[in-house]
Amino acid sequence: MKYSFKNDYSELCHPDILEALLKASNEQNNGYGLDKHSEDAKKLIREKLECDDCDIHFVTGGTQANASVISHILRPYEAVLACSSGHINVHETGAIEATGHKVYTAPGIDGKLIPDDIEAALKYHQDEHMVKIGMVYISQSTEIGTVYSEAELKSLYDYCKENRLYLYIDGARLSSGLAASDVEFNHLKDLCDVMYIGGTKIGMLSGEAIVIFNEQVKPYFRYHIKNKGAMLAKGYVLGIQFEAAFKNNLYFEMGMHENELARYLSNELKSIGVPLLNESPTNQIFPIFSKEQVEQLQKLYAFEIWAPVEDKIAIRFVTSWATSKEVCVELIEDIKTIIS
C-alpha cells in the first residue's frame, strides 16, 4: 500500500502540536480542563473569534460533542433537524437518539439545508402528537465536502431566530471549511448559537472545542458534559493542543494546505477525463471509476467506497495536513496508467 487517502486522521498529530505535548510532559496540571493551558487556549480562541464572552469547553471527539450539545439544549419532546447526509444521522450509530431526541431529516441540496427545508419540517410537525423541532444541525464543511457561504449561514440563522430554533454548527472539518468559503472565523459568533471547532480531523491527537455564544445555553454545561462522560480528567491534554494550534495561524494553515492538495487532485482528475460526483472545494473529493478501475486502485491506495453511480462507483479521497504534493502527483500518475 503506497498511501492512505481514507481519512484526515490517520496520522498522529502535527509536529508543532506533538512538540508542545512533549514540552509539557513532566508538568503537573489541574484536571478537568481547569489548567493553565486550557485557559490560554480559550483566550487565544476568543481573541481570534473577537468574542470575549463565549463559553468554551474541550471534549475528545465529535460524536461526544454533538450528543452533549444537542441533549443539553433540547427539551425531552424536542427533535433536531439535519440534512439526510448529516453526520448525526448517518455516522453516529444512534448516539443522538440514545439521548432521547429524534433526528428528523430533510434531503437538502448538495449536503446543505436551506430555510425552506426548515419551514417544511415545522409545517409537518404541527401539534403535540409529534416531536417539536427545536434545533437545526448543519456541518461546515458538509459530509460531501461542500460549504455554506456566509450569506447562506446568515439566512439560516435569521430564519432559526425568527422561529425560536437553535442553530448548531458541527465543525469537525471547520479548518477546511473556512479555507474553502467566504466565512470569516470572527463572524461565526453572529451566525449560530453553538458550534464546535474540530481538532481530531485537523492535526491533533484528538479534541474538539465546543463554543457557546447563546447566553441561554451556557448555564450548567460543565455539569452536563460530566454527566455524559465527556469531561476528561486530563483535560490539559486537549488544552495544550488547542493552545499550540491557535498560538499562531497553524489551525487555519493546515486547512489551507489540505484544500490546496485536494484542489490539485480535482483539477488533474478532470483534465484526464475522470468525472466527479460533485464539486467539492474542501479536502474531500469524490471521483467516479469503473468497478475494475477501483479494484486496481485498491491494490495501491486506501480510500472509502462512497456510492454506486449507475454502473460505476464513486470513491472518496481525503487529503490531510500531512499529505504531500509528491504523493498526490504519484496518485495521478497511477490513475493515468490504470485508465489508459
Mean pLDDT by 10 residues, the chain (340 residues): 96 98 96 97 98 98 98 98 97 96 97 98 96 98 97 98 98 98 98 98 97 98 96 97 96 98 98 96 98 97 96 98 98 96
Euclidean distance between CA atoms 128 and 69, whole angstroms: 24
| Residue 222 parent element (H or E) | helix 221-227
Structure pTM?
A: 0.96
**pLDDT for the residue numbered 56:** 98
Vertex 134: Cα angle to 131 and 140 (nearest 5): 125
Residue 141, preceding peptide bond in cis (omega within 30° of 0): yes
**pLDDT for the residue numbered 2:** 94
CA distances in angstroms from 334 to 224, 293, 296, listed in the order given: 50, 11, 10
What cell was used for 206?
A: 484528538
Q: How far is CA 261 from the centre of its chain?
A: 19
3-9+250-339 under CATH 3.90.420.10, yes or no: no
Euclidean distance between CA atoms 1 and 255, whole angstroms: 25
* Terminal CA-CA length for the chain: 21
**pLDDT for the residue numbered 1:** 87
- CATH fold of 15-247: Aspartate Aminotransferase; domain 2 (3.40.640)
Euclidean distance between CA atoms 62 and 166, whole angstroms: 19
What cell was used for 217?
A: 445555553
Return the axis-axis angle of helices 15-23 and 236-247, rounded to nearest 10°: 130
Q: Which residues on adjacent β-strands are paired with residue 3?
A: 301
Question: CB atoms < 10 A from the CB of 228, how many?
Answer: 16
Are the C-beta atoms of 212 and 166 separated by less than 8 Å? no
**pLDDT for the residue numbered 318:** 98
What is the domain partition of the chain in residue ranges?
Answer: 3-9+250-339, 15-247
